[in-house]
Amino acid sequence: MTIGWHFDNTYSKLSDNFKEVIKPTPVKDPELIILNEKLAKELNLDFSNISKKELAKIFSGNVLPEGSSTIAQAYAGHQFGHFTMLGDGRAVLLGEHLVNKNKRFDIQFKGSGKTSFSRSGDGRAVLGPMLREYIVSEAIHALNIPTTRSLAVISTGEKVVRENLLPGAILTRVASSHIRVGTFQYIAAKQNIDDLNTLVNYTIDRHYPEIQTSDNKALDLLNLVMEKQCQLVVNWMRVGFIHGVMNTDNMAISGETIDYGPCAFMDHYDPKTVFSSIDRFGRYSFSNQPPITKWNLARFAECLIPVIDKDEDEAIKIASETINNFQNIYEEKWLNMMRDKLGFFGEDQRDKKIIEDLLNWMEQNKADYTNTFCYLMNKDSISNEIYKDQKFLTWIKNWKNRVLINNGSIEKSLKLMKNTNPTVIPRNHKVEEALLAANENNLDNFNKLLSVLENPYDNLENIDEFQFPSSNNNYQTYCGT
């Protein structure tokens, strides 16, 4: 039976400076944990007549699909500000799957064994973090935020050494590509102008064909990537998502969210919120995500200096002016996003103050970020004594007055808000419950959580347990390596 793979592998045809040709390391006893059948359908893949045993062989890399061309990609990265030459140390790209002859998707294994980029790593992944990426990436997709997706997770039948012996696993990740800011950093560090031009042209052909005939392709690429990344981080801020490890190697040129390591969602509003166990100084805190995006884009701009203008000083000037415009682009997008969250139509000079007053009140009163907007949308299940606070009641009056200007109405505003504010997010304690049970071969909680998160903007019934934060304020996440 034909599954429907249609590989057309362009990245693997680039020179060896961009990658290593390597196959996944076979695993002992692969077992299918979960298959994303909806995503498979979107990819025009049909696994319905393939046994679970055969699926496990496919998604472990023990049996490779016809037409695949397996490689590990080279890239560098500023990891917590420190530059390192990296690469896929535990991932193998199977190839590029075409859907309807024009939509191209990378199919990648994560946790598939050592490569030449592994350094001291074991090349393997653990079941818990791979299932976390599955849950959160699918939740981010349902929240209408650009992201890589998860097609399958298999257990390997092998133990992986971390703090303890843990069950090994491999995730199959789907992305519009895995080209990162770090990819450009790697090639730029090699100081080969031909390779840099190759990467610029390849990226434009793949993601931004509208600028193929531009007079200054590199500059236009910088502007387009900045626009995409601005929109992406604004979306993260909209739903309270904290990526946790915004290194330049985790910043996709496509504008998709990539690499769900120590990620989590903010419960009570605190701009300094950090969940990552390794982020001791709050570099990647909730409020730092916009300035870090700008910082990462500045590193991208540095890579492009040789191809922006032959005159280095002129190129630096142009790139600096471009990056310095980030703040204006971001603030405008963020303000419009917050207007949507509050149901405001048009603009009013008082908007920023109304928004800041709410956020300040939320921070001071430790109000839940998601549920406060649900309360404003009259969600019956959301109630809390803090919403009877006099300052909040005064703010409500100002908010309702603002809603009514620019031909607005409460009904119209509520409709806008319901399309912007999720009713449910992946609450951190519910994710942990699901992962803990999955480690004991019980996927009931996992599947129930996925089902709830599929429609985060709908009026779902009987979901109270998924709507409220845990009383544990010391939640931490780990990268899994």
Write out the two tokens for 61: 């890399």
- My answer on whether 89 and 229 are in the same domain is no
Specify the pLDDT at position 474: 62
What pLDDT, in 10s, does the model give residues 97-122? Answer: 999 988 999 999 999 999 999 888 89
User: Which amino acid is present at 104?
Assistant: R
pLDDT above 90 for 81 = no
Average pLDDT over residues 68-88: 93
Q: Do residues 77 and 249 lie in contact, with contact meaning Cβ atoms separated by under 8 Å?
A: yes
Q: Do residues 211 and 144 lie in contact, with contact meaning Cβ atoms separated by under 8 Å?
A: no
Specify the pLDDT at position 462: 82
Q: Environment class of residue 339 by beta-carbon count within 10 Å: exposed (0-12), middle (13-18) or buried (19+)?
A: buried
How far apart (Å, rounded) are the C-alpha atoms in residues 341 and 252? 26
195 in active site: no
User: For the ranges 50-64, 77-91, 466-480, which has the lowest average pLDDT?
Assistant: 466-480
pLDDT above 60 for 478 = no
Domain membership flag for residue 380: yes
CA dihedral over 443, 27, 259, 70, signed as positive or negative: negative
Domain membership flag for residue 224: yes
| CB count in 10 Å sphere of residue 448 | 16
How far apart (Å, rounded) are the C-alpha atoms in residues 117 and 100? 34
Domain membership flag for residue 479: no
Specify the pLDDT at position 436: 94
The catalytically annotated residue of 29, 106, 215, 249 is: 249
Q: Which candidate, 269, 285, 270, places its Cα nearest to that of 367?
A: 269
Q: Do residues 46 and 69 lie in contact, with contact meaning Cβ atoms separated by under 8 Å?
A: no
pLDDT band per the 50, 70, 90 thresholds, residue 302: very high
pLDDT above 70 for 477 = no
pLDDT band per the 50, 70, 90 thresholds, residue 84: very high
Average pLDDT over residues 223-239: 98
Domain membership flag for residue 460: no
Specify the pLDDT at position 1: 55
- My answer on whether 167 and 18 are in the same domain is yes
Torsion of CA 296, 266, 282, 163, to 10 degrees: -100
- My answer on whether 162 and 305 are in the same domain is no
Give the contacts of 226 (CB within 8 A, at least 6 positions apart): 297, 322, 323, 325, 326, 329
- φ, ψ for residue 43 (rounded to 5)? -90, 5
Mean pLDDT of the chain: 94
pLDDT band per the 50, 70, 90 thresholds, residue 460: confident
Strand partners, 180: 252
User: For the ranges 113-117, 178-182, 207-211, 235-239, which has the lowest average pLDDT?
Assistant: 113-117
pLDDT band per the 50, 70, 90 thresholds, residue 379: confident
- My answer on whether 241 and 274 are in the same domain is yes
Average pLDDT over residues 357-382: 92
Specify the pLDDT at position 473: 64
pLDDT band per the 50, 70, 90 thresholds, residue 384: confident
Domain membership flag for residue 42: yes
What pLDDT, in 10s, does the model give residues 258-299? Answer: 999 889 999 999 999 998 777 777 899 999 999 999 999 999
Look at residues 298, 315, 335 and tell me which one is the last residue of a structural domain.
335
- My answer on whether 73 and 108 are in the same domain is yes
Specify the pLDDT at position 254: 98
- φ, ψ for residue 150 (rounded to 5)? -120, 120
Q: Do residues 425 and 239 lie in contact, with contact meaning Cβ atoms separated by under 8 Å?
A: yes
How many Cα neighbours within 13 Å face the side chain of 137?
26
Domain membership flag for residue 454: no
Specify the pLDDT at position 476: 60
- My answer on whether 328 and 354 are in the same domain is no
Domain membership flag for residue 465: no
What pLDDT, in 10s, does the model give residues 362-372? Answer: 999 999 999 99
- My answer on whether 141 and 190 are in the same domain is no
Q: Which candidate, 65, 72, 89, places its Cα nearest to that of 11?
A: 72
Specify the pLDDT at position 164: 86
pLDDT above 90 for 35 = yes
Specify the pLDDT at position 475: 58
- My answer on whether 303 and 243 are in the same domain is yes
Average pLDDT over residues 224-234: 98
How far apart (Å, rounded) are the C-alpha atoms in residues 107 and 7? 10
Average pLDDT over residues 380-405: 90
Write out the two tokens for 241: 């998502």
Write out the two tokens for 311: 């005159």
The angle that helices 410-418 and 390-403 make with each other, rounded to 10 degrees, is 100
- φ, ψ for residue 7 (rounded to 5)? -85, 135
Q: What percent of the chain has pLDDT over 70?
A: 97
- My answer on whether 325 and 198 are in the same domain is yes
| CB count in 10 Å sphere of residue 250 | 21
What pLDDT, in 10s, does the model give residues 409-457? Answer: 889 999 999 999 999 999 999 999 999 999 889 999 999 999 999 999 9
Domain membership flag for residue 371: yes
Strand partners, 125: 169
Specify the pLDDT at position 381: 67
Average pLDDT over residues 322-343: 97
pLDDT above 70 for 226 = yes
- My answer on whether 74 and 101 are in the same domain is yes
Element (H, E) at 52: helix 52-60
Look at residues 175, 201, 229 and tell me which one is the last residue of a structural domain.
175
Q: Which domain holds residue 91?
A: 11-175
Give the contacts of 172 (CB within 8 A, at least 6 positions apart): 59, 107, 108, 109, 110, 150, 151, 152, 153
How far apart (Å, rounded) are the C-alpha atoms in residues 372 and 417? 12
Strands 165-175 and 103-110: antiparallel
Specify the pLDDT at position 472: 67
Number of domains, the chain? 3
DSSP 267: S
pLDDT band per the 50, 70, 90 thresholds, residue 25: very high
- My answer on whether 150 and 258 are in the same domain is no
Q: For the chain, how far is it from start to end, CA to CA, in angstroms?
A: 37
Look at residues 400, 418, 436 and tell me which one is the last residue of a structural domain.
418
pLDDT band per the 50, 70, 90 thresholds, residue 96: very high
Specify the pLDDT at position 359: 98
Specify the pLDDT at position 120: 81
Alpha-carbon Rg for the chain in angstroms: 23
Give the contacts of 101 (CB within 8 A, at least 6 positions apart): none
- My answer on whether 395 and 299 are in the same domain is no
Average pLDDT over residues 50-64: 96
